[in-house]
Amino acid sequence: MASIEEIKNSVEFIKAFKAYLKPYVTKHKQDLIRQVLSKRTRQFTVVLEDIYKPHNASAVLRTCDCFGIQDVHVIEKTKEYHINPYVTRGAAQWVDLHKYFDPDGSSVQNCFTQLKSSGYKIFGTSPEAGSISVQELDPSQKIALVFGNEHAGISEEVKDACDGLVHIPMNGFSESFNISVAAAVFLYELTKEKSQKSSPDYFLSEEEKEEIEYRWYREIVKNVEVHEAKFLKTWSNL
């Protein structure tokens, strides 16, 4: 006999419970969700390495949401990231956050292994010699951009493990942008209309949209756990 968790995670239950939740989501919100999902992508993703200031990482989450980036990866070495709701302005609800912490020090390795298994080329953001400009990135390939902390930038471990380094050409005395500004510049360059046409898999698949739409419905509907418990009794005849 299937457990409650197995039932809740089954395709049949998710489809049925999503239909149950739909009337609790306004027509305007349903249309907005479909519109947003139609522009969502996993062609590009952002990785944050050991960010010191939570509001900076939270600002990057908001930036990613604005550019239609679905996933953000956070490598926690010495700093644990906590979402700042005043900075994200709700963006954390709509962007999938993946955290990597390992007490044995393999957080970078674990993150990069996951990214590479998903087909990403990993580029560390750094202005040092040998780094290519953002305009030289090929948007037809899946790209993960790694941003380091506010003081030291990306670590030597990241530099050694990534596929290359990339930078934003600059003409002033300052050598770097604020991390959220830098993320915005990189993502603006990568997500231009020509980029969207460069890969047949640029946008989410229909299966991905359905799965995310279900999770977003759960975020929106108040007391969703109460609704779920009532629906489960009927569904599982418990």
Predicted local confidence at residue 82, as pLDDT = 56
Cα dihedral angle (155, 157, 159, 163), rounded to 10 degrees?
-140
Query: What pLDDT score was predicted for residue 86?
Result: 40
What does the pLDDT look like over 119-168, one tens digit per residue? 999 999 998 888 999 999 999 999 999 999 877 889 999 999 999 999 99
pLDDT for the residue numbered 85: 46
For residue 44, pLDDT beyond 80? yes
Question: Is the confidence at residue 93, as pLDDT, over 90?
Answer: no
Q: What residues have CB less than 8 Å from 219, skipping those under 6 apart?
A: 93
CA distance linking residue 126 with residue 159, whole number of Å: 9
pLDDT score of 2: 72
Segments of the chain assigned to CATH 3.40.1280.10 = 40-201
| Single pTM value for the model | 0.90
**Residue type for position 64:** C
Strands laid side by side in the 132-133 sheet: 96-100, 71-75, 44-49, 143-147, 121-125, 164-167, 132-133
**Residue count of the chain:** 238
Dist CA 7 CA 3 (whole Å) = 6
The winner for highest mean pLDDT among 31-45, 76-90, 103-117, 182-196 is 31-45
Tell me the per-residue pLDDT of 197-233, one tens digit each, with 9 for 90 and over. 878 899 999 999 999 999 999 999 999 999 999 998 8
Q: In the chain, what percentage of residues exceed pLDDT 90?
A: 64
Whole-number pLDDT of residue 56: 83
CATH superfamily of the 40-201 domain: SPOUT methyltransferase, trefoil knot domain (3.40.1280.10)
- Indicate the SS3 state at residue 2: coil
Q: What is the pLDDT of residue 79?
A: 59
**Whose CA is closest to 165, among 143, 181, 150?**
143
Contacts of 57 (CB under 8 A, 6+ apart): 48, 51, 74, 81, 179
- pLDDT recorded at residue 195: 77
What is the Rg, in whole angstroms, of the alpha carbon atoms belonging to the chain? 20
Which residues does residue 149 pair with via DSSP β-bridges, in sequence order?
A: 153
The reported pLDDT for the residue numbered 119 is 97
* Model pLDDT, residue 81: 57
For position 87, what pLDDT does the model report? 44
Above 70 in pLDDT, residue 61?
yes
Q: Running DSSP on this structure, what letter comes out for residue 4?
A: H
Residue 1 has pLDDT above 70, yes or no: no
Residue 40 CA to residue 219 CA, distance in Å, equals: 18
Q: In whole angstroms, give the CA distance from residue 196 to residue 202.
A: 6
Query: What pLDDT does residue 90 have?
Result: 60
